[in-house]
Amino acid sequence: MSDAPYYVTGSSATGEVYPRLEIQDLVKKREQFSLFIQAWLNIRDPNSKNVPVAAQHVQIGGIHGLPYENWPGDPAGKQVDANWQGYCNHGSVLFPTWHRPYIMLLEQSIGLEAQRIVKELQNDPKTNWGSDPAASKKAWEQAANELRFPFWDWTSPETGKIGLPPVLYEPTLSLAMPDGSTATVENILAFYDFGSKDLLPTGFATVQEQNPIVGNEISTSYFDEWTRTYRWPNSVQNGVAENYKRLNDTLIGKGQNNGGSYKDILNKVAQLFLYPFQDSRSAMVWDQFSNTRGQSKPSHNFRLTSLESPHNTIHLVVGGSGGHMMDNDYAGPIFFLHHCNVDRLLAFWEYVYPSYWLGKDGFETPTGRKPFTQADGTWSEKNNAILTEVSELEPYRRSDGKYWIANDTRFVGNSTFPKYYTYPPIDGVSLDKPTSDLQRAQDLRTLQRYFGQKPTVVRDRQIPIQQALFTKDSEEALPKGSEPVWNFRQFVITVEVVEHAFENSHFLEVAYTSKDGHTYPIGATAVLSRSHGTQCSACRARQHGNSKVHDTIHIPHDIVVKIMTDHDLNHKDTDDNTLCDTIRKSLKAHIISPDGATRAEATPGEGPRHGQKAIDEAIRPNLRLASANVCAIHDKNEEILHPWELYDWKDHGPVLGNEWVVPT
């Protein structure tokens, strides 16, 4: 094993910038897709003489969780504790930045192997290049240069129609060959095959998913027995079956859960592009956007979700109860395509919000500025290490031998540390052109519309609202130069849950049950966690410290109208308190596993019944109702409206409380 570091430079060997493609678009690039699969298969071979140990897939995968060993690509990595504590950066302002070079590392390994494959073919006189050898050689060489790691776009409308793209789970793949023929191979995108139990990473263990409050077992994952990764497995050691029907039904919205549905996922992503176009609280905006912990408690100001929230949702819905993706100590190949899409959303967010960043000196509080920290540190970070824009992102080293820092990862306008990739435009919004603030504002509105933020459209689909909260003039709170959206108000539920109160990963779902007994799903919060016995130090610190996950669920306008209609509240003389109290007392919630098993529930006005137990107040979910008006700002010429923004926030009090119970 080499003592030299493995520098993370992405696809720098090509010297060019090419787009990362959606996986289904990459399939259409026959030579690129073939090289992608062949190269990824080759770097999975632990005995390959062509791939450096640090660039092998099993070593790259181990950076994120088990086996909790020092990555060979950073053999002289700095160490602050003899006990391995992992590289974990979740629930942290470094969550988006740390994962960017991580995907670049795998992209680099696959890209270099793809180029080696083509050179080997070119140097082999036995290679059959088909009817036009010159053109075929050029096409394959160009494919190797342009190959970038693909993303799975789970925001695509197709997700709501079919669920997972078939290429991610069908048993075989068809690959193009240089002579024009095709070869059928096992689908390595569907799972990772460790080969045998002896080759499982150190630390893989049997994990029992259970409700710690009452101790009942929900499912068991035999990670130390299974020799490949699984999605939605049944809880057996041998003869494991994956339930892709339930996985796809969940994404489509036909499953038992609202959490994980395309509609819920898109609602989360739409919120990401509702942050103020400009705001002086740069670090606080970044804190709320970047992670679910929110150290600066910005949810009281912005009441919007974070990038980590839909990220968590995808982990749960793909893994299912007991699957590798639902526990951050484990994963599977789809992990990287998923995170590539997270990086794509980050890149477009950076483009329209370039001024928001974690900065140098933390965030403002009533008593002065306070730093962002990493609870209990990592293997290379001290306990409660201060996190800033110059924090080192171990174990990734740049070509100059120094660690990547947060500033290096910035996507837009960062020529010092080029990434050698871009993303295809979204509805005409491009990352690759010089732009002005006015253009960014227009592009932000385009992204809002693309991801479903259309307040006037959803308003006009319902009956007009007469109640004063929706119609009265809020000029005192209205941003200067803006135009309000009349007869519309965005109601939200802010969510605060103790991350490890129920151990393992789970959803908190909120719904409204009408007077006729029909249940209308509202939204969900995904809690992604590692098992109780994890070696991840930062995760253990969050477990012991009752760390909280923060999120925001937007209540669809049609459900607000339904509640008002059911309770005969759509009148000018209905006062605000009556309206908001009715909405609060109409909502119910439950905490469930990805497969729908109930861990806890809360029904308005009800306490523990026979066979139920009240939840201790210290770990009880904290939900609150709030609402805001929506406006759009004119440009200086009064011609083009800038993006939608929320203003005139009002807190309407707690939702549920001592009604939370668990089945015994």
3-class secondary structure per residue, 155-173 = CCCCHHHHCCCHHHCCCEE
pLDDT confidence of residue 122: 95
User: Cβ contacts of residue 535 below 8 Å, gap of 6+?
Assistant: 66, 68, 84, 85, 86, 203, 329
Give, in order, the Cα–Cα distances in Å from 219 to each of 222, 244, 273, 331, 632. 10, 17, 37, 18, 48
Phi-psi category of residue 71: left, alpha or beta, with phi > 0 → left and psi -120 to 50 → alpha? beta
If you search the block for the tokens 């974070």, which residue do you land on? 306
Question: Which of the residue ranges 92-101, 501-510, 581-590 would you say has the lowest mean pLDDT?
Answer: 501-510
pLDDT cut 90: percent of the chain above it: 64
Cα separation, 458 vs 454, in Å, equals: 6
At 133-192, the pLDDT tens digits run: 999 999 999 999 999 999 999 999 999 999 999 999 999 999 999 999 999 999 999 999
At 59-77, the pLDDT tens digits run: 999 999 888 888 999 988 7
pLDDT confidence of residue 499: 85
Reading the block at residue 238, the tokens are 């041998």
pLDDT confidence of residue 547: 80
pLDDT category at 656 given cuts 50, 70, 90 is very high
Reading the block at residue 2, the tokens are 């080499």
Give just the sign of the alpha carbon dihedral 244, 245, 251, 255: negative
Give, in order, the Cα–Cα distances in Å from 368 to each of 5, 294, 330, 336, 591. 41, 17, 40, 40, 37
Statement: residue 432 has pLDDT above 90: no
pLDDT confidence of residue 543: 53
Question: Which of the residue ranges 120-129, 202-211, 270-279 would you say has the lowest mean pLDDT?
Answer: 202-211
Q: At what angle do helices 244-252 and 308-319 cross, to 10 degrees?
A: 150
Statement: residue 535 has pLDDT above 80: no
Statement: residue 405 has pLDDT above 70: yes
What are the phi and psi torsion angles at 367 (to 5°)? -110, 15
DSSP strand pairing (421-422 vs 18-19): parallel
pLDDT confidence of residue 329: 87
Please state the pTM of the whole predicted model. Answer: 0.94
Statement: residue 299 has pLDDT above 60: no
At 448-465, the pLDDT tens digits run: 999 999 998 999 999 988
Cα separation, 279 vs 391, in Å, equals: 24
Judged by DSSP in three states, 346 sits in: helix
pLDDT confidence of residue 126: 95
* In contact, 168 and 190? CB cutoff 8 Å: yes
Phi-psi category of residue 172: left, alpha or beta, with phi > 0 → left and psi -120 to 50 → alpha? beta
The predicted model gives 496-504 an average pLDDT of 83
pLDDT category at 85 given cuts 50, 70, 90 is low
pLDDT confidence of residue 639: 55
Cα separation, 250 vs 461, in Å, equals: 26
The predicted model gives 269-289 an average pLDDT of 93
DSSP 113-171: HHHHHHHHHHH-TT----S-HHHHHHHHHHHHHH----B--TTSTTHHHHSS-GGGTSS
3-class secondary structure per residue, 261-280 = CHHHHHHHHHHHCCCCCCCC
DSSP 67-103: T----TTSTT---S-SS-------SSTTHHHHHHHHH
Cα separation, 548 vs 625, in Å, equals: 18
Amino acid sitting at position 384: N
**H runs (alpha helix) in 413-549:** 437-450, 455-460, 468-471, 537-544
pLDDT confidence of residue 634: 65
What are the phi and psi torsion angles at 449 (to 5°)? -65, -45
pLDDT category at 663 given cuts 50, 70, 90 is confident
Statement: residue 553 has pLDDT above 80: yes
299: DSSP letter: G
pLDDT confidence of residue 546: 61
pLDDT confidence of residue 1: 52
Cα separation, 390 vs 397, in Å, equals: 14
Reading the block at residue 103, the tokens are 């995907």
Q: What distance separates the 2 farthest-apart alpha carbons in the chain?
A: 86
Cα separation, 226 vs 309, in Å, equals: 29
